[in-house]
Amino acid sequence: MDRGRESERPYRVVAIGGGDGLHALVRGLVADRAEVTAILTVADDGGSSGRLRKEFDIPPPGDIRRCLVALSQADPLIGELFEYRFTDAYLKGHSFGNLFIAVLTQLSGDFRQAIERARELLGASGRVIPATDRKVVLVAEHRDGSKSTGQQAIAQSGKPIAAIRLVPRPPSVSEEIREALAQADLICVGPGSLYTRIAPNLLVPGMVEAINASKAPVVWVANLMTQPGETDGYSAADHLRVFQEFRPALRIDRILVPSEAPGEAQRELYAGSGAEFVDYEGRLGPRAPEVVARPFIASGDKVRHDPRQLAAALLGLLGDRQRSLEAAD
How many angstroms separate the CA atoms of 116 and 128, rounded? 8
Question: Which residues contact residue 215 at a Cβ distance below 8 angstroms, ignoring those fewer than 6 apart?
Answer: none
Predicted local confidence at residue 272, as pLDDT:
83
Contact criterion met (CB below 8 Å) for 184 and 219: no
Tens of pLDDT, residues 240-266: 888 888 888 999 999 999 999 888 888
Alpha helices in the chain (DSSP H): 19-31, 47-56, 62-71, 76-83, 96-108, 111-122, 151-157, 175-183, 199-202, 207-213, 236-246, 264-271, 307-328
Global pTM? 0.91
Predicted local confidence at residue 236, as pLDDT:
85
Q: How many CB atoms lie within 10 A of CB 107?
A: 11
* List of long-range contacts for 241-245, beta carbons under 8 Å, 24+ apart: 241/285, 242/194, 242/195, 242/199, 244/287
Q: How many CB atoms lie within 10 A of CB 312?
A: 18
How many angstroms separate the CA atoms of 161 and 158, rounded? 9
The amino acid that residue 246 corresponds to is F
Predicted local confidence at residue 312, as pLDDT:
95
Q: How many CB atoms lie within 10 A of CB 83?
A: 14
Question: Which residues contact residue 79 at a Cβ distance below 8 angstroms, ignoring those fewer than 6 apart?
Answer: 69, 72, 122
In terms of Cβ atoms closer than 10 Å to its own Cβ (0-12, 13-18, 19+), residue 184 is buried
Predicted local confidence at residue 230, as pLDDT:
85
Predicted local confidence at residue 300, as pLDDT:
87
In this prediction, the residues of the chain whose per-residue pLDDT falls under 50 are: 1-4
Question: Which residues contact residue 300 at a Cβ distance below 8 angstroms, ignoring those fewer than 6 apart?
Answer: none
